[in-house]
């Protein structure tokens, strides 16, 4: 597959996103990975091991939906978690994965297998949600180095929760996806705000009156 204008444009857009997310402290020490759709069977994804705040357009590669490089190179270790989402959702354009402190800490505090967000105006930042009055459920999966097994677990969950906009891996970070890079960034930012609110509520409950 030859890298064309679309490839380089998306690589530059994701490199810029990487700088923003690093400035927020969400992708420390080469963690995190990003991707965008290239075609009906290929995805642009970050190469393994690069600092996400210092990405250049050269630090990406094309993979197929099985996560295999199209023209060589070594993709991020968690690439399969990206490509399974593109395979499932034909309109999907971008996936962002961060090791943000709020998602990481909240997932370690919560013993359940989900975070249930209720009553927040910002729930409306998510595609298809038009009111604060519903419940936004973000599932939490246990962390593992067996990415194939985790990808199967996420797939099984999404089979019956097609409106799920994101998920958290416990003690690890968050995966968020969208029908455009802008939509994905908006939802990731909203999710971080909501997770910080949930942490603050727990702090307030612990504080003496
Ligand atoms: Zn990760």
| Span 91-134, pLDDT tens digits | 999 999 999 999 999 999 999 999 999 999 999 998 888 889 88
Distance CA 137, CA 97 (A): 18
Burial class (CB in 10 A: 0-12, 13-18, 19+), 37: buried
The percent of residues in the chain predicted with pLDDT above 70, rounded, is 99
Per-residue pLDDT band for 2 (boundaries 50, 70, 90) equals low
Expressed in angstroms and rounded, the spacing between residue 99 Cα and the centre of ligand 1 is 6
Structure tokens at 105: 């800490």
Expressed in angstroms and rounded, the spacing between residue 40 Cα and the centre of ligand 1 is 25
Distance CA 38, CA 64 (A): 10
User: Residue 87 sits in which domain range?
Assistant: 5-206
* Domain harbouring 182, CATH code: 3.40.225.10
Expressed in angstroms and rounded, the spacing between residue 131 Cα and the centre of ligand 1 is 31
Asked whether 163 and 157 are in contact (CB, 8 A), the reply is no
Q: How many domains does the chain have?
A: 1
| Span 50-69, pLDDT tens digits | 999 999 999 999 999 999 99
Structure tokens at 116: 């249930």
Expressed in angstroms and rounded, the spacing between residue 78 Cα and the centre of ligand 1 is 7
Please tell me the total number of residues recorded for the chain in this structure: 209
Residue 60 vs residues 32, 123, 124: alpha-carbon distances, Å: 13, 32, 32
The percent of residues in the chain predicted with pLDDT above 90, rounded, is 86
């Amino acid at each position: 597959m030859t890298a064309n204008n679309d490839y380089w444009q998306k690589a530059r857009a994701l490199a810029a996103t990487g700088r923003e997310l690093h400035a927020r402290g969400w992708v420390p020490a080469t963690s995190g990975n990003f991707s965008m759709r290239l075609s009906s069977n290929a995805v642009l994804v970050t190469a393994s091991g690069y600092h996400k705040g210092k990405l250049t357009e050269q630090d990406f590669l094309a993979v197929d939906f099985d996560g295999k490089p199209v023209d060589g190179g070594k993709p991020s270790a968690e690439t399969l978690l990206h490509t399974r989402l593109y395979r499932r959702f034909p309109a999907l354009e971008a996936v962002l994965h961060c090791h943000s402190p709020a998602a990481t800490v909240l997932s370690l505090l919560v013993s359940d297998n989900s975070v249930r967000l209720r009553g927040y105006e910002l729930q409306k930042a998510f595609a298809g949600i038009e009111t604060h009055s519903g419940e936004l459920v973000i599932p939490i999966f246990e962390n593992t180095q067996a990415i194939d097994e985790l990808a199967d677990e996420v797939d099984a969950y999404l089979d019956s929760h097609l409106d799920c906009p994101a998920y958290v891996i416990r003690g690890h970070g968050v995966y968020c996806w969208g029908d455009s890079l802008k939509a994905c960034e908006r939802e990731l930012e909203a999710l971080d705000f909501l997770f910080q609110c949930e942490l603050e509520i727990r702090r307030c409950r612990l504080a003496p009156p």
